Amino acid sequence: MLTKAPRGTKDILPAEVPQWRFFEEKAREACRLFGYSEIRIPMFEHTELFLRGVGEVTDIVAKEMYTFTDKGGRSLTLRPEGTASVARAYLEHKMQGEAQPVKVFYTGPMFRYDRPQAGRYRQFHQFGVEAFGSQEPALDAEVVMLALFFLQSLGLDKLTLHLNSVGCPECRSRYRESLRAALRGKVKELCPDCGERYEKNPLRILDCKNERCQAVTKEAPLLADELCNGCREHFAAVRAALDALGVAYVLNPRLVRGLDYYTKTAFEIMAPGLGAQSSICGGGRYDHLVATIGGPDIPGIGFAIGIERVLLALAAAGSGGAEAAAPDVFVATAGVTPAEALPYVMELRKAGLAAEMDFLNRSLKAQLKLADKKGIRYVVLLGEAELQAGQATVKDMQSGMQEAVSLGGLCAYLAERLKEEN
Ligand SMILES: [Zn+2]
Ligand SMILES: [Zn+2]
């Protein structure tokens, strides 16, 4: 127990961190170009926020939340997603008074008690964006473009964009009845989950991965055919905006989000290399979310991208091979103790050079081997006699060339050599 992380959690080891930073840097850069500012939301919220803002009938809220009572008797929940928190922050800080739309992004861990599988963890990480305060279809197109632009900047191509409109509460409640009517005699053929969904949330039956459920719903009516005029026009305008940008997409009428605050545009982006569940980005409009958590009726749209899933897709595509940078300098000693060497190492660091040294009293030969293994280009040899003469020897590990350098001029000499290298 003590030497094993909890099920569904994962250490991100030093060798993996460059990939994560690569992801995060590209995300920041894409958001900067698109005008989305970073927001940092708390790791936990009042449970009530997720009950309302994610929805009690969702799997997330019904089965997967990490909920606990704190010492003050409050029910709190580790955030299972970011959108509800951002909507709460928008209201709490009266951002409706700022210039609209308010466009923000976040990255960080989320928590869901889910069955762990490839690329899916109980503590997982998301990068997401949200834009509040506009129903303009061009904003939907911008959000889709941001997701695509970002994923492409990582080196992922072969992306497939799936697009749908889930309508508004008005056209959807009409559609819900026609879907129930169409499935009425077939409820027993559905999987147990969908049996429950039939009453509570029948739209979700359409995106069930169970083959039997897919067969049962094959002939079912589609929401796309029953949109009200307002929703139909909005969807046409979103598609026209994407067409004008030359973006290819698949119209997927089975792409649904069952809750009433989700409205109009829904989209997913798929990447190869992840097996059957190949979605790496899900997004769409939620024009009634802010009202659902107690605010005025303010529209919003956003997406979330699972970082672990994207890193898997990148590995499958053989792309994004970021590596940790090696230190600049290794200070090797002969007849000089680590404590005596440390002040010289510190001088190098203060001059902006990443410097390493030996702490195990290795032989000089073993120290050179270590520097080589770490991929360090320059080794500074500090010997007893050299120190007395105020000198060190700098060895270029690539060419094998050695040069005597005065200790006073060491930092400037190495800085110059490293500058040439870059
Ligand atoms: Zn509608
Ligand atoms: Zn099902």
Does a structural domain hold residue 181?
A: no
C-alpha dihedral (381, 386, 387, 390), degrees to nearest 10: -110
Question: pLDDT higher for 259 or 158?
Answer: 158
Do 118 and 232 have their domain in common?
A: yes
Do 355 and 273 have their domain in common?
A: no
User: Residue 224 in 3-state DSSP?
Assistant: helix
Q: What is the pLDDT of residue 420?
A: 86
Which of 218, 220, 252, 219 minimizes the C-alpha distance to 235? Answer: 252
Q: Please state, rounded to an integer, the average pLDDT across all residues of the chain.
A: 93
Q: How far, in Å, is the centroid of ligand 2 from the Cα of 59?
A: 13
Q: How far, in Å, is the centroid of ligand 2 from the Cα of 287?
A: 27
The whole-angstrom distance between residue 251's C-alpha and the CA centroid of its chain comes to: 25
Decide: 382 and 333 in contact? Cβ < 8 Å. Answer: yes
Q: How far, in Å, is the centroid of ligand 1 from the Cα of 223?
A: 10
Does a structural domain hold residue 365?
A: yes
Do 156 and 269 have their domain in common?
A: yes
Examine residue 101 and say whether the peptide bond preceding it is cis (omega within 30 degrees of 0).
Answer: yes
Q: How far, in Å, is the centroid of ligand 2 from the Cα of 313?
A: 27
Q: How far, in Å, is the centroid of ligand 2 from the Cα of 212?
A: 7
Does a structural domain hold residue 398?
A: yes
Does a structural domain hold residue 71?
A: yes
Do 159 and 103 have their domain in common?
A: yes
**Closest ligand relative to 198 C-alpha:** 2
**Tens digit of each residue's pLDDT (9 = 90 or more) over 402-415:** 999 999 999 999 99
Q: Which of 316, 343, 358 is the last residue of a domain?
A: 316
Structural domain count, the chain: 2
Do 39 and 120 have their domain in common?
A: yes
Residue 283: pLDDT over 70: yes
Do 99 and 243 have their domain in common?
A: yes
**Tens digit of each residue's pLDDT (9 = 90 or more) over 338-397:** 999 999 999 999 999 999 999 999 999 999 999 999 999 999 999 999 999 999 999 999
Do 259 and 339 have their domain in common?
A: no
Does a structural domain hold residue 240?
A: yes
Does a structural domain hold residue 178?
A: no
Q: Which of 316, 351, 377 is the last residue of a domain?
A: 316
Does a structural domain hold residue 162?
A: yes
Cα–Cα distance for residue pair 17/382, rounded to 1 Å: 33
Q: How far, in Å, is the centroid of ligand 1 from the Cα of 231?
A: 4
Residues near ion ligand 1 (CB < 5 Å) are: 167-168, 171, 228, 231
**Closest ligand relative to 183 C-alpha:** 2
Residues near ion ligand 2 (CB < 5 Å) are: 191, 194, 208, 210, 213
Do 274 and 379 have their domain in common?
A: no
Q: How far, in Å, is the centroid of ligand 1 from the Cα of 147?
A: 25
DSSP strand pairing (279-285 vs 300-306): antiparallel
What's the CATH number where 386 sits? 3.40.50.800
Decide: 322 and 371 in contact? Cβ < 8 Å. Answer: no
Do 285 and 338 have their domain in common?
A: no
DSSP letter string, 344-401: HHHHHHHTT--EEE-SS---HHHHHHHHHHTT-SEEEEEEHHHHHTTEEEEEETTT--
415: containing domain: 329-421
Q: What is the pLDDT of residue 76?
A: 98
Q: How far, in Å, is the centroid of ligand 2 from the Cα of 209?
A: 7
Q: Which of 290, 316, 342 is the last residue of a domain?
A: 316
Do 388 and 239 have their domain in common?
A: no
Do 71 and 160 have their domain in common?
A: yes
The pTM of the full predicted model, rounded to 2 decimals, is 0.91
Do 285 and 335 have their domain in common?
A: no
